Structure 1
Amino acid sequence: MFLLLIMLLIILCIGLLWLWVNAVFLREVTSLTPTTAQPLVSILIPLRNEEDNVLALIKNLKELSYPNVEVILLDDGSTDRTAERLQSSIQDNKAFTIIQGSPLPDGWNGKVYACHQLSRLAKGEFFLFIDADVRLHPETIQYTLAHMEAERIDLLSGFPNYPLIHKGVQLLVPMQHFVVWAHLPMFIANRTNHAAFTAACGQFMFFRKNAYVAIGGHESVKNSLLEDVHLARRMKEYGWTMKLLNISSLVTCHMYTSMRSLWEGFTKNIYVGIGQSKVLAILLSGYYAFVYLFPFPLAIYGIVTFQPLYVIPYLLTVLQKWIVDRKTGTHGSFAWAVPISASLLIAVLATSMYKAIRGQSYSWKGRMYT
């Protein structure tokens, strides 16, 4: 038991150092002064059964302070009141265009095809793809363009802040931040074109148009269930500059309002996200079970036996999660639940892998994917 304790302490201390180094190379999007340049930016948004998001989305986009923008929204075969609410909220605002999506062709992922259609109508020098549940700070575009121009970035992406909507959802969704901070070497990811060291988030993908076109756009990943990462990898493979920034101070995403939708969404993406590698899935599950789940019963043992040293690993896991949560705007109280978050992550990865191995389809927004 004592050897396990020492091993945990070493791993967790290394993890704290790793988080500190990553914090240096994962820059805040607000670290530069907003640009005064005004190239045309196309904001491109696919919507499928998003009636609950439409009004807040349009209101938010109307509040953007960037003056040279076109917003194109695609209704992707919605069966609810999405189209009706789009029309009533936009009215005659000339900055907005609504289009009806074409039927989904064979071999295409639904969202990917919607984004492809949007890109073909966009006139901007820059393309910003966001989801319907994303909300932007009024100066988001100015700050983002400042980095695009100063650092010659061709694709800028990042993970939004995820506000507290549902406590169960909050236990898992912000783990996206934690996984990236805890595992991706930011120095390599943001300073080189090694495609293997890449993360991206489809909720915020800001492309330079000529780079997007050069890699074949969304058509080049038409059957992907993880198109954001695959597009980012293609950018690097073709020699374009892709960077991940901390955008959580300017971009929020009201992602998933129920555990059911969360489970379907994560199950669809997580196993694909690790390259459908059984070995990596088992190693990651074992790592999270040992490093982030096991410290909790170890702490209970330490309390019961009056050995406070055994409580330290759990406190270090909480500290790691708290550091990431603080940097990304997640409520700090959820750091204490890191064993539950780790358990949910392991469970959804196991479910995703099981479905893939058995050849079962993933369900998302009324469509089935394999």
Structure 2
Amino acid sequence: MFIFLWIGLLLIMFSLISGFFILFKIPYISSQELDDTVPIPTISIIIPVRNEEKNIVNLLDTLNRQSLQPQQVIIVDDESTDHTVEVASKYNVEIKIKNQTQNEEELVGKTAACYRGAIGATGELMIFMDADTFFDHEDALRNIIAEFKKLSYSGLFTIQPYHRTVKFYEKLSAPMNMVVIAGLNCFTPLKNVFKTGGAFGPFLMCSAKEYTLTGGHKEILGSHLDNFMLTKLFQDHNLSVYNFGGKGSVSFRMYPEGPKQWLLGWSKSIASGSSNTHPLIMSAVGLWIAGGLIIPFSIGFSLLINPSVWLPAFIFLYFFYAGQFLWLAQKVGKFSNWLFLGYPMLLVSFIIVYSWSFIQVHILHSVSWRDRKIDV
């Protein structure tokens, strides 16, 4: 029995090292000046929507308050059955509704909506934003454009919004967010060694020139994960992909409709996205999760063997792991601190969601979202 405790202790130590490795450093958008004396490229913002009446208001309100205003905002409706279009029409935006007379009946889903929006975009820069995102302050867009200017307005520039949670089930998203970000291979100490595995879908930006050069969404109409396919398009054209964390610039609140939408939302993509993760990083993530689950079992075993020796050590490791979990989670979202005292619940929820996602993607080859079945 002692050997199991020693093995468990060794795995836990490697697990903690893995935790520091997978999200070593996430770059964020900093506050900076954008020289107004030099012409700023015009901006088109394209927002695909499907049944987003509860989310779109927050995005459009914060967009209206930006110190740097886009030239054009295009709302592309993907057959919404709620009041999304009516709500959006109260703002100064262009609304595109699916036109059945133009052979668009087969163009459904987010990728197709982005393509339809891009057709009418006139800006020199194109930004694709999810409807549940919003800007954190009035200079957020200005700071983002200033950051892109440093890169000569070239490449695919993406941001993973900072996750703002309200209801309890939303807070269970902490490990999902961490794994999604870690899975792009570019936030470890070896970021320059691994090939970037993808881009963040909620906020994508590129120049109109390079969008046209790569073919954009037109080339990937059959995909439900436009962020990964666009990454490949840009990389195939020797264009860089830049990924940032959204803390302090762009946020979102995911799946406020309820636990069912939460499960469907996460399970539609998390297993598909992991296929682009480098095996070393995937192994590190798996080891980190395994170590976290080994700790409570080790506490139980130590009670049966020699509590005076083993129990204090594993209790210390439990709280150390909980602290590391909280530290990592704060990089990607706002979650209640007390939640991490029961961190095994978070890890179990991740395993359930990932398993269901794996079954849907690799066995059933179909996922459901917004009352629509999507073949994958």
TM-score of the aligned structures, taking structure 1 as reference length: 0.85
Q: How many pairs does the alignment contain?
A: 358
1:14 matched to 2:11? The reply is no
The equivalent residue for 2:295 is 295
1:295-334 CA distance string (max 9 Å, x none): 2332455578242111233233223222223333423333
1:347 positional shift = 1.2
Distance change (3 Å), C-alpha of 1:177 and 1:262: same
8 Å contact kept, 1:190–1:244: no
Query: 1:315 corresponds to which residue?
Result: 319
What is the root-mean-square deviation in Å for CA atoms of aligned residues?
A: 3.0
Deviation of residue 39 (structure 1)? 1.6
The percentage of aligned residue pairs carrying the same residue is: 22
The CA distance in 2 between the partners of 1:13 and 1:361, in whole Å, is 35
**How far apart, CA to CA, are the structure 1 residues paired with 2:172 and 2:232?**
29
Moved more, 30-39 or 179-188: 179-188
Deviations 1:250-293 (A, max 9, x none): 1111111121111111221122112399x99x978964552222
Alpha-carbon distance in structure 2 between the residues aligned to 1:132 and 1:179: 19
Higher relative contact order (CA 8 A, sep 6+): 2
**In 1, distance between residues paired with 2:12 and 2:363?**
38
The alpha-carbon distance between structure 1 residues 300 and 60, as it changes in their structure 2 partners (threshold 3 A), is farther
Q: Return the offset for 1:189.
A: 8.4
Structure-to-structure mapping, 1:243-258, within 5 angstroms: 243-257=242-256, 258=258
Aligned to 2:203: 204
Do the aligned residues in 2 keep the contact of 1:28 with 1:247 (CA within 8 Å)? yes
Higher helix share: 1
Q: Which amino acid aligns with 1:266?
A: W
Structure-2 separation of matches of 1:185 and 1:302:
38
8 Å Cα contact 2:19/2:324 also seen in 1: yes
Cα contact 1:112–1:222 (8 A) shared by 2: yes
Q: Is the 8 A contact 1:188 1:197 kept in 2?
A: no
State the partner residue of 2:364. Answer: 359
1:195-234 correspondence runs (5 A)? 196-234=195-233
- 8 Å CA contact retained: 1:302, 1:311: no
Structure 1 equivalent of residue 97 of structure 2:
100
Offset at residue 130 of structure 1 (A): 0.7
Aligned equivalent of 1:5, options 3, 8, 11:
8
Per-residue CA deviation, residues 117-151 of structure 1 (Å, 9 max, x unaligned), is 11111111111111111111322221111221113
CA distance in 2, matches of 1:276, 1:201: 13
CA distance in 1, matches of 2:32, 2:192: 18
Sort the Cα spacing of 1:55 and 1:186 in 2 relative to 1 into closer, same or farther, 3 A.
Answer: closer
Classify the secondary structure of the residue corresponding to 1:252: strand
* Contact 1:302/1:309 (<8 A) preserved: no
In structure 1, the gaps of 5 or more residues are none
Distance verdict in 2 for CA 1:31–1:335, change over 3 Å: farther
- 1:174-209, CA deviations, whole angstroms, 9 ceiling, x for partnerless residues? 6323553488343688657x6x53242211111122
Distance in 2 (CA, whole Å) between partners of 1:295 and 1:217 is 47
For 2:346 and 2:53, locate their aligned partners in 1 and report how far apart those are by CA, in whole Å: 30
The residue type paired with residue 11 of structure 2 is L
CA contact (8 A) 2:109 2:224 kept: no
Distance 1:178 1:271 in 2: 10
Matches within 5 A, 1:248-287: 248-257=247-256, 258-275=258-275, 287=287
- For residues 56-83 of structure 1, what are the alpha-carbon distances to aligned partners after superposition, in whole Å with 9 as ceiling and x for unaligned? 3322221111034311111221111112
Shift of the 335–155 alpha-carbon distance from structure 1 to 2, 3 Å rule, reads farther
- TM-score, length-normalised on structure 2? 0.84
- 315 and 246 in structure 1: CA distance in 2 versus 1, 3 angstrom threshold: same
